Amino acid sequence: MSTPLTLRCGALRCDLRPDLGGSIAGMWMHELAVMRSTPGAALANVRDSASFPLVPFSNRVGNGQLQWLGETHTLPKNFATEPHAIHGVGWERPWAVVRGSDTEALLSLTHQANASWPFDFACTQAFTLEEGALAMHMRVTNHSPKVAPMGLGWHPYFMKREDTRVQFRASGRWEMGADKLPTHCEPHTGLDQSTTGLKVDHCFDGWDGVLTLTDQQLHVTVRSGLSRLVVFTTLERDHIAVEPVSHVNNAMNMVASTESSAQRLGVVALQPGESMECSMRVEVRAAHEVHA
């Protein structure tokens, strides 16, 4: 096991595991978990991490069959309970540490075309821990000689406490079939409710880029320039996934099979040598400071 990287700034601490999918093992304010958190040295599986990167796609590619520019590419069904390919390849690979300090880290991943993803790319993740915030930035470049579909995002899990309330604004919500693939988008204004009793597994469209999670201990704000948000939790879970993403679930196949435009669904067609990037910021304050 590689030694985890620990970032510290003021009351915040963040443990990174580059070797486990370039993931965040945990994030704390003092000793209080902000995300679902495991000390970096104890994390054994990226599926139990606090957050992991989504590259080169978010969520699902239906039945592991990528349809792109008239070709079909069979992708591995990489999560046992799913009949689909899920979350890309970045979370399954070790990332290299380019540089690190007490408050910053830069990780990199180089992917060569294979059965898991048929296009070459290189990706970097930058983490900066500031007073009261964690800033994250991801950049990917198409190193394939072909035009490649691309999507980015992150998959963070935040703690749900007894009185946690989630709030964000959106313009639509993608409904799903029994196969967990989207069928159509319905108008929806987002969520503003307690997480107690909340059961949700949807991609929200037209997200305004701000989400808050508040309880009697913490006030957490998630910000991103990405305009879609996948939200997932069940009644029994003590955490909620809120995932800023660039495209709709299964969007790459929906472009091929429907009249929907790539832009409408968020699919980026990267020319050889072209890059795309995204960012996410997690701001944390003690609840008593917000209400003072």
Q: What is the mean pLDDT of the chain?
A: 96
Per the structure, the count of domains in the chain is 1
Which of 278 and 257 is assigned the larger pLDDT?
278
pLDDT over threshold 90, residue 292: no
pLDDT at 291: 62
pLDDT over threshold 60, residue 255: yes
pLDDT in tens, 108-138: 999 999 999 999 999 999 999 999 999 999 9
Which domain range does residue 199 map to?
5-290
Confidence of residue 266 (pLDDT cuts 50, 70, 90): very high
d(CA 78, CA 75): 8
- Dmax (CA) for the chain in angstroms is 59
pLDDT over threshold 90, residue 34: yes
Q: Which region among 31-40, 79-88, 148-157, 252-261 has the lowest average model confidence (pLDDT)?
A: 252-261
How much of the chain, in percent, has pLDDT values that exceed 70? 98
pLDDT at 259: 67
Confidence of residue 290 (pLDDT cuts 50, 70, 90): confident
Confidence of residue 256 (pLDDT cuts 50, 70, 90): confident
> How large is the average pLDDT for residues 56-78?
95
pLDDT at 48: 97
pLDDT at 110: 98
> How large is the average pLDDT for residues 211-225?
97
pLDDT over threshold 70, residue 1: no
Q: Domain with 232 in it: what CATH number? A: 2.70.98.10
> How large is the average pLDDT for residues 191-207?
97
pLDDT at 215: 97
